[in-house]
Amino acid sequence: MSGWIGGLQIRRTDRGQTPVADFLCTRCGTYRRVTGREKVADFVRANPITDHRATCRPANQKGTTQR
C-alpha cells in the first residue's frame, strides 16, 4: 500500500493470488488484516466497519467534531 486510507480494502497478492483484506479505522487507529479466501469472505460478511463503529471510542465521544 502506498498510502493509508481508512475503511476496508480487499486485494490479491502477486504470488498465488491469495486474497487479503485490510481494515483501518482512521479515528482510533485500529488495524486488522485477514488473509485467505474463506477468512476474507467471512470477514467481509461480518461487516467490520459497522461492527467497529459500535465500539470505536473516538467516534462515539460526544462533543467532538470530525475534521
pLDDT in tens, 37-46: 999 999 999 9
Predicted confidence at residue 63, as pLDDT, reads 59
Predicted confidence at residue 5, as pLDDT, reads 80
Segment (H or E) for 30 = none
Amino acid identity of residue 57, one-letter, is: R
Distance CA 51, CA 48 (A): 5
Give this prediction's pTM.
0.75
- All residue ranges of the chain with pLDDT < 50 are 1
Q: What is the DSSP letter of 53?
A: H
Predicted confidence at residue 59, as pLDDT, reads 66
Helices (runs of H) and strands (runs of E) counted in the chain: 3, 3
Predicted confidence at residue 15, as pLDDT, reads 73
Cross-sheet strand order for the sheet of 19-24 = 7-12, 19-24, 31-35
Residue 17: helix, strand or coil by DSSP?
coil
